[in-house]
């Protein structure tokens, strides 16, 4: 797990540790006047194209944009293919270990560690130790495309919470409010599941936060959820020891008893559970 050292603010962003492809927007779209009319489909949502930005594509096919200055701060261009895409390798000096970074910023600074791939998940499982002011952040959008199987995102979601009860569940929340003022049934159920397993802190994606109307919808939905939903903690299963159940055995009816002195001279017999004279 690596983090940038270029910013000492409370929020820290995990650096990319894999090679990427990059290409200037001007080579993809000649007329800059219409660039802002188009959206780029990133893992965090749809974003308007920025004038002069560099379009980046990760190994998993995820797309994002950044400025040329930021790109060259993090990567070195090693080659340019026939279509004009630049092969970029991450700079080794771009990041430091978490412990080393903590020494730089001090114990009072809040460090949020963004976990977005299998390498970060391995760090959480095998290395991470919870300390004050250090919080894990699950970047679900990035993590989802990095895992070998899509359903593994469920285990990853629980893993971060097991290691850090203060963990933040980030991105891909309430996306239905981008197109509809009322969250979908799936979004409500997802919030309930995250709350039930223990998440108390959540982070919205860029597309919701960049527009006041969309952000208001999401905030109102969170408020309604908070006021009306009762968190249900799963109860541990109680396994009782196996006990042999008693078996009912009906006694056979008594054999007829004959008595010479019967008024009928033939004795007694049991008929339908009652003693009858024969």
Using alpha carbons only, what angle is made at residue 10 by residues 8 and 16, rounded to the nearest 5 degrees? 70
Most confident of 78-92, 192-206, 255-269: 192-206
The SS3 call for residue 95 is strand
Cα 172 to chain centroid, rounded: 9
What pairs with residue 66 in β-bridges?
A: 54
Burial, 190: exposed, middle or buried (Cβ in 10 Å; 0-12, 13-18, 19+)? middle
The per-residue pLDDT for range 216-274, each reduced to its tens digit, is 999 999 999 999 998 877 666 676 676 666 767 676 666 655 555 545 455 555 555 56
The per-residue pLDDT for range 140-158, each reduced to its tens digit, is 988 998 898 989 999 999 9
Asked if 157 and 137 touch (Cβ cutoff 8 Å), the reply is: no
Domains in the chain with CATH codes: 12-92 (no CATH), 96-228 (3.20.20.60), 251-278 (no CATH)
Q: Say which range, 27-31, 107-111, 127-131, 162-166, has the weakest mean pLDDT.
A: 27-31
């Amino acid at each position: 797990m690596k983090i940038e050292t270029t910013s000492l603010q409370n929020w820290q962003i995990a650096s990319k540790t894999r090679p990427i492809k990059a290409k200037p927007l001007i080579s993809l779209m000649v007329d800059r006047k219409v660039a802002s009319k188009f959206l780029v489909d990133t893992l965090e949502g749809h974003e308007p194209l920025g004038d002069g930005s560099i379009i980046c594509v990760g190994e998993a096919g995820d797309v994002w944009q950044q400025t040329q200055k930021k790109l060259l701060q993090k990567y070195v261009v090693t080659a340019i293919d026939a279509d004009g895409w630049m092969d970029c390798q991450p700079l080794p000096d771009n990041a430091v270990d978490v412990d080393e970074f903590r020494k730089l910023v001090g114990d009072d600074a809040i460090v949020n560690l963004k976990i977005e791939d299998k390498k970060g998940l391995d760090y959480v499982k095998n290395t991470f130790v919870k300390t004050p002011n250090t919080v894990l952040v699950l970047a679900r959008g990035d993590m989802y495309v990095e895992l070998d199987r899509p359903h593994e995102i469920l285990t990853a979601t629980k893993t971060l919470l097991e290691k850090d009860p203060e963990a933040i569940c980030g991105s891909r929340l309430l996306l239905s409010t981008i197109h509809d003022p009322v969250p979908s049934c799936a979004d409500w159920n997802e919030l309930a599941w995250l709350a039930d397993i223990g998440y108390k802190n959540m982070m919205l994606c860029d597309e919701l936060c960049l527009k006041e109307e969309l952000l208001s919808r999401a905030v109102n939905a969170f408020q309604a959820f908070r006021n009306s939903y009762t968190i249900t903690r799963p109860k541990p299963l109680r396994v009782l020891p196996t006990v042999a159940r008693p078996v009912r055995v009906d006694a056979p009816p008594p054999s007829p008893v004959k008595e010479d002195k019967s008024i009928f001279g033939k004795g007694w017999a049991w008929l339908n559970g009652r003693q009858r004279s024969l």
